[in-house]
Copies of this chain bind each other. A is one copy, B any other.
């Protein structure tokens, strides 16, 4: 059935994302993906014979997940802004960014791995672009919320800032930033 196919495909792509986060790019092999997904050997080869295609589709899948998470976030925030005002929303924005560093640790690490891979392989450059766009969305939302659209720093740079903090935390190189610290940085992006 079509759902069966889609289930297996997504199970494999989820497994690849998990492998990227846990074992790195070199940890992604057809056999490892089979095992991680709990499917018999050969499954990944069947659905994605070429490894480039496997990575490409995993990246697309990851981008979709990121965008879905972002949509959820925006819906949740509409309420906060409406009921508690903008100032509270800004703190919650910082909070949201930090939460995504915890919950989305896997997604973050997988995305960084793929971004690095895309920066090297010509064949994956479009994938890098796709991920970059997906990663920009929540940041764009938060930064616009905080600065009211008058941010003085390009949105890509804002993504870099936030990603850098998240990556630092995700790789265990430093303490988890506090809400106050992040919102300080967020506010600094506005013209004063």
- Are B152 and A174 in touch, CB under 8 angstroms? no
CB-contacts of A98-143 with B (<8 A): 109, 112-113, 115-120, 128, 132
Q: How far is the CA of A173 from the CA of B26 in the complex (A)?
A: 23
**Bound-complex Cα distance A185 to B164 (A):** 13
Q: Could you give, for residues 148-192 of chain A, a 1 whenever the CB lies within 8 Å of some chain B CB and a 0 otherwise?
A: 000011111101111111111111111101000100110111000
Most interface-central of A155, A165, A175, A177 (chain B CB within 10 A): A165
**Which residues does chain B contribute within 8 Å of A112, judged by CB atoms?**
112, 116
Q: Which residues in B have their C-beta under 8 angstroms from that of A163?
A: 164, 167-168
Q: Does A65 contact B (CB under 8 A)?
A: no
Query: A13-56 vs B: 1/0 string, CB under 8 Å?
Result: 00000000011111000000000000000000000000000000
- Count chain A residues whose beta carbon lies closer than 8 angstroms to a beta carbon of B: 46
Q: How far is the CB of A31 from chain B (nearest CB, A)?
A: 16
* CA A60 to CA B18, docked complex, whole Å: 29
Chain B residues within 8 Å of A170, by CB: 119
The answer to whether A118 and B153 touch across the interface, beta carbons within 8 angstroms, is no
Known A24-B25, A25-B25, A120-B23; judge A173-B161 contact (CB<8 A). Answer: no
Give Cα A91–Cα B181 distance, bound, in whole angstroms: 23
Most chain B CB inside 10 Å of its own CB: which residue of A25, A116, A155, A189: A116
The 6 closest A-B pairs by CB, nearest first: A164-B164, A156-B174, A188-B188, A160-B168, A26-B26, A119-B171
